[in-house]
Each structure stands twice: as C-alpha cells, then as structure tokens.
Amino acid sequence: MLLRFALSIFFLFYFSLSAYAHAKIVIKVGGYPFSPYVTKAPDGTYSGLTLDVLKQLNKIQDKYDFTFVSTSSLYRYQAFSRNRFELILFENKMWGWQHVNFYTIPLPLDDGEVYITQNRPDRNQDFFEDLKSKKLVLVDGYHYNITRDITDKALLKKEFDVSFVNNNHASIEAVLRERGEVAPVTWSYLQFYLKQHPESKKLLLSSKRWDQRYQHQALLSHRALISQDELLGYFQLLESSGTLDKLAKDYNLSRKIHYRSIPLR
C-alpha cells in the first residue's frame, strides 16, 4: 500500500513537471479602443485587427501564448511601465512614449487621419484650410498633427473650439449630427464605417489633405520573455505566408511598405 502511494506521488510529480515544461510562455499584449485595430462592443467583448494578428501569431508557433489585455489610450503608458502588458501593436513611438523604455519593431502597415465634415453645397476642399476657426471633434487621448500631439484637454480647449468623444465612430456620428464641424478620423476606420453605412457616403465630405500619416510599430518591453528578433521573425512569417496581406485587405489598410524596405531599430 505504501509503495502504491509512493508511486502515485511520483507519477503525479513527473507529469506535473512534464506539463510545466511544455506550458506556453504567456506574452501579454495591450490594446485600447482604436478601431479598426481594437474595437470594444457594447457587451464588453473586443475584436479587431490586433486580436486577429494575435490569433495568427498563436497559430504559427507553439512556444508563446499571445494574450490580449485591455487598457485605455490615456493609461497605456503607465500600464506598460508597470508590466501589466509587455507588448503593444499598432503604435508609434512618437505618440507620447518618449519616457518609456522599449524595443521598436516595424509593422509594414501604414494608416493615418483625414478630416471629415458634412457634405454641403457651400463646402469643398477649401473648407479644410482654416481648421482653427472650425468647431473640432477629437477623440480623447489621441495624438493629432493639428494639435501638435497635445492630448491635455484643458490646453486644447484654450486653443481650439473643441469637443471630445471616445472613438472614431463617435467622431463621425458627431459630425453627422452637427455636434461639430470637422473631425480627424482614422482613414481605415472611415472606409470600414462607410462600408457598414453606405448611406452616409453622400452625407460626408472627406479631405484630400491628411492630418498625419504613419507607419505602425510594435513596442516590446525590455522585460518581455520573447526577444525582439524572435518576434520580428514571426511577423515576417505572417508576411511571407500572405496572412498579413489578407488581414490588411480585410481592414482597408495599405501594404505599400514591406519588411525588406524598413530597418529594425
């Protein structure tokens, strides 16, 4: 009886060690509502390009488990510094990250913001020339060229006639409902919105002028258990397999940039 008990303990310990040895390393990936990259539904569930990329990363290897962790646009810097997550996708190091340490990994997808207004007979592209005289709608916490990347609401209210919303969808709706005259909206999300609401296409005028264009980056913590080169290798696999092209097409993103033309920093 004692021998049987000892053997049971041994095998339990052995299989526990075996399972531990084969357990995946969890890589926590932060994300905040920034459609089409991260979209939060009314029931609290998340979807978007970021989560689709994580799904593909988990599919092409069995060493790591890339797990989504929600944060906010304003809190993401502190959350990253406190190691609440180790990786964030579709970011740019110039968006307020100057005082945080990380590795930068290029993502060969570009996007940007254009301006929208209500489409009226007396409005054309000239309407977007003098934006300081217009009532603006901005997403709280987002960085824009027109605001010189300032996100402080008190400072912005001193310089602009501005109201704040929570996301790109709300920006478009605010313009349609005449709660503001002009809003900078992420180009990829505008295409997605118009596909879902084709009746709004004739109601909106979008600028040929960009507020800003940017190449996306992944920011990886120095404390992460995955290396910069290893993560880059996985992204290159997604590119070479055509997966990245398919995802880009699904979300109306440009794939003019390729890994062979961008340096690793």
Residue 204 lies in a domain: yes
Tell me whether residue 255 is exposed, middle or buried, using C-beta atoms within 10 angstroms of its C-beta: 0 to 12, 13 to 18, 19 or more: middle
pLDDT digits (tens, 9 = 90+) for 59-102: 999 999 999 999 998 899 999 999 999 999 999 998 889 889 99
Distance of CA 151 to the CA centre of its chain: 17
> Could you tell me the residue range of the domain that residue 34 belongs to?
24-111+214-261
pLDDT digits (tens, 9 = 90+) for 196-247: 899 999 999 999 999 999 889 999 999 999 999 999 999 999 999 999 989 9
The answer to whether residues 131 and 147 belong to one domain is yes
The answer to whether residues 206 and 226 belong to one domain is no
Decide which of 127 and 41 is more confident.
127
Single-letter amino acid code for the residue at 126: D
- Tokens representing 260 are 């062979």
Distance of CA 249 to the CA centre of its chain: 16
- Percentages of the chain per state (helix, strand, coil), in multiples of 5: 40, 30, 35
The answer to whether residues 45 and 75 belong to one domain is yes
Residue 7 lies in a domain: no
Single-letter amino acid code for the residue at 138: L
Residue 10 lies in a domain: no
Q: Tell me, what's the pLDDT at 94?
A: 86
CATH number at residue 87: 3.40.190.10
The answer to whether residues 65 and 94 belong to one domain is yes
DSSP state of 24: P
Pair 58, 66: CB distance under 8 Å: yes
The answer to whether residues 107 and 218 belong to one domain is yes
The answer to whether residues 76 and 158 belong to one domain is no
Single-letter amino acid code for the residue at 73: S
Q: Which residues of 135-145 are buried (b: 16+ CB within 10 A; e: fewer)?
A: bbbbbbbbbbe
Pair 86, 28: CB distance under 8 Å: yes
| pTM reported for the whole predicted model | 0.78
